[in-house]
Amino acid sequence: MTPSSALPAHGSSRPSSLDLGGRTALVTGAAGGIGRACVLRLAAAGAKVRAVDRDGAGLEALTEAARTLAGAVEPHILDLTDLDAAELAAAGTDILVNNAGLQLVRPIEEFPPDVFHTVLTVMLEAPFRLIRGALPHMYGQGWGRIVNVSSVHGLRASAFKSAYVAAKHGLEGLSKTAALEGAPHGVTSNCVNPAYVRTPLVEKQLADQARAHGIPEERVLSEVLLQDSAVKRLIEPEEVAEAVAYLCGPQASFVTGTSLVLDGGWTAH
């Protein structure tokens, strides 16, 4: 791999062949992990990015990291369980990246119903409302990009993740419906489907997974998280952000209603 083909570091101002100058993007779950990487990647391509998260300190750090990039980052503190506010926040956006998520690992019979409700609100109903808010502007200009950060769990189920799997499967269907409706208006809608990403969301799972599977925490990574992956490592947030960026570019105008799988061979089984 030559230096020019290497993945950019957080906050990198490496010149990009993708030009999103004049475009406004909105990224949810923007303060960390995949969302942070997506904000920096789209801003590096020249987009003005609305960075949506409920973590004000994380957004402040993100804005500082993006200072030298071609595009601007506008922090927007928002709890996505406020669905009306979420829909309003998406108005006027050219690019929508639905990324925010949360996770709890429990058997169904022990899964708290209120947490199940919250997971589906944040990870399925909020994306619906954000898409609903973004589409009038996209349709009006005849161009738009919707990228839904799904998961390998949008295509495969795992035990003890009923809410997360249900939400991601629902997101896949929502994305395809948006693709069919948006096609006559120049709007594409796709999912990206990573396996386990090196993010705080995954790191926080280790203790829950160890308890659910009855194994020591140090064995979770190899025996649970990476068991079904042919490539035995976590995927990096920047790798997911590159896939998102690809789907926002002109070269992906014929790519819609599909799932771009980044699972290290998990679904090849």
Catalytic-role residue among 139, 164, 196, 246: 164
> Can you tell me the distance from the alpha carbon of 222 to that of 209, in angstroms, rounded to the nearest whole number?
12
Question: DSSP assignment, residue 170?
Answer: H
Torsion angles phi and psi, residue 94, rounded to 5? -90, -30
Active site residue 246: no
> Can you tell me the distance from the alpha carbon of 212 to that of 217, in angstroms, rounded to the nearest whole number?
11
What are the tokens at 191?
A: 């999912």
Number of H helices, E strands in the chain: 10, 7
> Is 17 in a helix, a strand, or coil?
coil
Q: CA nearest 199: which of 100, 116, 112? A: 100
Q: Which residues contact 147 (CB under 8 A, 6 or more apart)?
A: 95, 96, 97, 98, 189, 190, 191, 192, 244, 247, 248
> Can you tell me the distance from the alpha carbon of 144 to that of 66, in angstroms, rounded to the nearest whole number?
24
Question: DSSP assignment, residue 125?
Answer: I
- Just list the catalytic residues: 164
